[in-house]
Amino acid sequence: MKKKCYILILLLFPFTVFAQFAKPVKSLIKAHANFNEDVTRIGIRGAYLNNIHTKSIVFLPAPVMGSEYFNAIPNDMAASLERVVTYLDVSIDMMYGFSTGNYIYNRDKGFQSQEEYGNFVTFWRKEKNSWKILMDFTVDDLKPTTFTPLFSPDKIYIKRFPIIQTSIESTKEIILQSDILYNRALNLKAEYSAWDEYFSDQIRFFRSYTSLQIGKQSLLPKLSKLGYNYEYETSAANTSFSRDLGYTYGYGIVSEWKENRTIDKYVHYLRIWRKEENGVWRIIVDIEKDIKQ
């Protein structure tokens, strides 16, 4: 009888989670709207300080503590920043989430010609029923012709799984080692097999001044034509309490042969990992930016 009850619970689990899923998705969209409102009301610096987690990291592109950075810079009320969410997801415990999208930044609101464009990736943690920015990474881009429309949170369905009874530390180690193995494959020029194995089918791939790439099927042929050499190192990893969503970040060198010489770009990266239907960790977001020399 107990066995039948356990089976019934597992069968009903995805539908129970789906019924609860729309609310945290909508609350995360609302958190973005609140951030944009804060920018208008108290400036960019004030908006970040009002919305970042106490342990937040922002990438410049090198990772720095968010509170220290934003407390140290002036609050330029003449500047404006607007973020438009195009994709997001939340962990099964509904305590962690990530969002991606486009931004428009203007150093002076009075001059449209000074607008700058780009993409952002933000990893969030919920604190006292309020979403706070834990990781924030942006890359520059050309002015988009259109913004990618946001999905409807009422129609999205992502299959969820019961919490696996492994420790958080063990799961962190799994994500960490996955990132290390992925980097090792890239460093050894086995990049195509690494991309094929570790990329989610729905991956969102961000690089500076490169159009957002969505989906492994369309991305792999483009990446394979680049002919870059890679040297990556993993710095850290973390996971949600429910052990189904996490991130890694690190640094590296991306080299290309151009104009009869090797050109090295020193980069920092952030990757968001999601446990997918087969129980394997996959990269759902990969964002990277080079250090300006």
| Interval 278-291: pLDDT, tens | 788 999 999 999 98
What backbone torsions phi and psi does residue 204 show, to the nearest 5 degrees? Answer: -120, 120
pLDDT at 21: 59
Residue 138's CB is within 10 A of a number of other CB atoms, namely 21
% the chain with pLDDT above 70: 83
Say which range, 69-73, 146-150, 152-156, 269-273, has the weakest mean pLDDT.
152-156
How many CA atoms lie less than 13 Å away from 80 in the CB half-sphere? 12
The string of pLDDT tens digits covering residues 104-119 is: 998 876 666 678 899 9
% the chain with pLDDT above 90: 61
Contact 290, 61 (CB under 8 A): yes
**What's the predicted TM-score (pTM) here?**
0.87
Say which range, 133-147, 156-170, 206-220, has the weakest mean pLDDT.
156-170
Environment class of residue 58 by beta-carbon count within 10 Å: exposed (0-12), middle (13-18) or buried (19+)? buried
The string of pLDDT tens digits covering residues 19-70 is: 455 777 889 999 999 999 999 999 999 999 999 999 999 999 999 999 999 9
pLDDT at 148: 57
Beta strand residue intervals within 142-228, DSSP E? 199-207, 210-214
182 vs 20 pLDDT, higher one:
182
